Amino acid sequence: MIFKELAKNTGLDEDEFLEMVELFLEVGSSDLNKLQTAIDEENVQEVIEAAHSITGASGNMGFMEIFELAKGVEVKAREDSLDGAAEAVKSIKEKLDLIAETLR
């Protein structure tokens, strides 16, 4: 199972890691909603903050695809661009859904 390997990488027991995955899904969904709203409102500062939060959490968890997507949004937003941000949100959402399905 994929989580076993990720847990090993983080140095956590599998149970500890699974608890962290649940927390990550909760926080990640909330951050992703914030990110979507910020993009809709073209609020660059809030895009940076929400994307940064997702970057940090996914980096901790070792979910590197989500990390790269969120990092991309954050870096561009720091350059005052929201290009590709909406697509990235969609991809991140798909990946969160996949993690949630795997957890079940």
Partner 1 sequence: MATDKNIKILIVDDSLIARRFIRVYLGKMQITNVVEAPNVRTAFKELNKGGIDLILSDWSMPGTSGLAFLKTVRNDENFKNIPFVMVTAEGLKGSIAEAFNAGVTHYILKPYTYETFRKEIETVFKNERRR
Please report, as ranges, the residues that interact with partner 1 according to CB under 8 A: 9-12, 16, 20, 23-24, 27, 49, 52-53, 55-57, 59-62, 67
The three-state DSSP-derived secondary structure of the chain is CHHHHHHHHHCCCHHHHHHHHHHHHHHHHHHHHHHHHHHHCCCHHHHHHHHHHHHHHHHHHCCHHHHHHHHHHHHHHHCCCCCCHHHHHHHHHHHHHHHHHHHC
Cβ proximity to partner 1, 11 vs 104, nearer residue: 11
Provide, rounded to whole angstroms, the least separation between the CB of residue 55 and partner 1: 7
Least Å distance, CB 57 to partner 1, is 4
Q: Residue 62 or residue 91: which is nearer to partner 1 going by CB?
A: 62
Closest to partner 1 by CB, 36 or 58:
58
CA 73 from chain centre, in angstroms, equals 11
Complex with partner 1: residue 36 or 55, whichever CB lies closer: 55
Task: Output the smallest distance, CB 47 to partner 1, in A.
Answer: 13
